[in-house]
Amino acid sequence: MTQQPADPRAAFEELALPLFEPLYNYARWLTHDPVEAEDLVQETYLKGLRGFGSFAAGTNFRAWMYRILRNTFLTSRSGLRAVPPISIDEDPDTYQQIGVAETPESLFFARVESETLRVSIEALPLVFREVLVLSDVENMSYREIAETLSIPIGTVTSRLIRARQKVRNTLRGEG
């Protein structure tokens, strides 16, 4: 185990800064709004810093921060009410890393498939979407997801299977 700095703020920064981009990505999936996602991440870091004294050393800091973000999101929504969708065109950075060897046709089909997948995931109810995003986008283990969402591992497994099935059905046009 690495020696943590004596200053709690420095210790928090050391643990929290590497999580900024993944937390923002998760917030984008939850909110469907880049500005709201930025606010959500900022509030998460503020709450995390303020509550860092209650963080139990040796436990999963990543899951702790994701749980703060999720709870902050849910509190801001007064429950699980739906959020209006945003256009995928608002995220052009996704397509900036496209290879030069690809043809315009292959780029078009890849973008259509990517947009269809994104829309399918965004259409999922929140309880399925968040498990799918944490697993397949953020590469969290089932245990980390269970800790983050405060649900049993069996529920994570069940929701993930159902989420993937719903996305497959949507992509097949079975809707």
Tens digits of residue pLDDT in 77-88: 754 444 444 444
DSSP symbol at 95: G
Burial status of residue 52 (CB atoms within 10 A of its CB: 0-12, 13-18, 19 or more): middle
Check pLDDT > 90 for residue 93. no
In one-letter notation, the amino acid at residue 84 is P
Tokens of 29: 């999936």
In one-letter notation, the amino acid at residue 13 is E
Q: Give the mean pLDDT of 109-135.
A: 83
Supply the pTM of this predicted model: 0.58
Select the more confidently predicted residue: 159 or 81.
159
Check pLDDT > 60 for residue 164. yes
How much of the chain, in percent, has pLDDT values that exceed 70? 75
Domains of the chain: 7-84 (1.10.1740.10), 102-175 (1.10.10.10)
Q: Contact, 116 vs 109, CB < 8 A?
A: no
Check pLDDT > 90 for residue 76. no
Alpha-helix residue ranges (DSSP H) falling in 32-103 = 34-50, 61-77
In whole angstroms, give the CA distance from residue 128 to residue 162.
Answer: 7
